Structure formats: C-alpha cells, structure tokens
Amino acid sequence: MITALDHIAIAVPDFEAAIKRFMEDFGLEFKGTEDVAEAKTSTAFFPLPPTQIELVHPLNGEGPIAKYLEKKPGGLHHICFRSDNIVEDVERLKAKGYQFLSDAPGPGAHGCKVIFIHPKSCDGVLIEINQPAADGH
C-alpha cells in the first residue's frame, strides 16, 4: 500500500549552487548528500514534513540525470511514493498495465528499495516507489 509522498525530486546542473539555494535562500534543513552508485546519481535531501525535497545530479557525469540534463536546464524530475510492501504494489500496478523500468526493486538512497514507473504510463510523470529499510531512515 502506498502510504506517503516520500519525496519530490529536482534535477540540478550545479549541485553545490542548488544545495546552497535550498539551505540559504529557502532556509530548509540540509540532511546531507549521498551518492547512489547503482543509480549513477548524487542526491541531497531536505526534509519538509510530511515529505522531503531530493536534489538529483549526475554521478561522475553519466546516468539518467546526465541524459535528462542534456535536454533540459533542470526541472522537476520525479515524485516518489513510499510503500509498505513494494513487491505487492509492483505486482498490483503491473497487473493494471503500468510499465516498470526494471523487473525488480533495486537500491536507492538511505538503504531504501526503489523502482520506477515509465513516465508514459502516468501522464508524463516519472514515478518512483520506495520502501524504507526495516530500520527506517
């Protein structure tokens, strides 16, 4: 079951400048950065209960965010729904015809399991579903 809007992600070309903007201009709490090698993505999180902002930036200049930034100057990249049973939610949504970008969930930030639904399945919005590690995040 989907239980929360875990995060809203923004793709940014200048990671340090964007972190500074969200900290200093918008005054949000900065929880730090995490590189997720499997996703070829650097992340920065700003909690804004009941959700959080995730900045995403290419790790080592490659991966899906690099490709996105080749076409756009930056922008809203995805939203992420938190699930309490990702396997069950994926099965349920696959049965309804949603196209997933991998067969099974993989590693995400904070030890979460994550999987993505193709934007063409959801009115042009890239949807991530995550499930926090058992010890939370």
DSSP-assigned letters across all residues of 47-103 = EETTEEEEEEEEBTTBSHHHHHHHHSSSEEEEEEEEES-HHHHHHHHHHTTPPBSSS
User: CA-to-CA distance for 1 and 90, rounded, in angstroms?
Assistant: 10
Q: Which is nearer to ligand LP2KCY5N, 24 or 62 (CB)?
A: 62
- What phi and psi, each to the nearest 5 degrees, are found at residue 96? -90, 0
User: CA-to-CA distance for 3 and 117, rounded, in angstroms?
Assistant: 17
Query: What number of residues does the chain have?
Result: 137
Q: Write down the catalytic residue from 54, 70, 88, 128.
A: 128
Q: Respond yes or no: is residue 29 known to be catalytic.
A: no
Q: Which is nearer to Co ion, 12 or 80 (CB)?
A: 80
Site string for Co ion, 22-61 (x = CB under 5 A): --------------------------------x-------
* Candidate residues 1, 4, 8, 9; the one interacting with Co ion per rule CB under 5 A: 9
What residue 69 binds from ligand LP2KCY5N, Co ion, none (CB within 5 to 8 A, per partner kind)?
Answer: none
> Nearest Cα to 46, choosing from 78, 67, 24, 13?
24
What residue 77 binds from ligand LP2KCY5N, Co ion, none (CB within 5 to 8 A, per partner kind)?
Answer: ligand LP2KCY5N
Q: Which is nearer to Co ion, 24 or 37 (CB)?
A: 37
Q: Which residues are catalytic?
A: 128
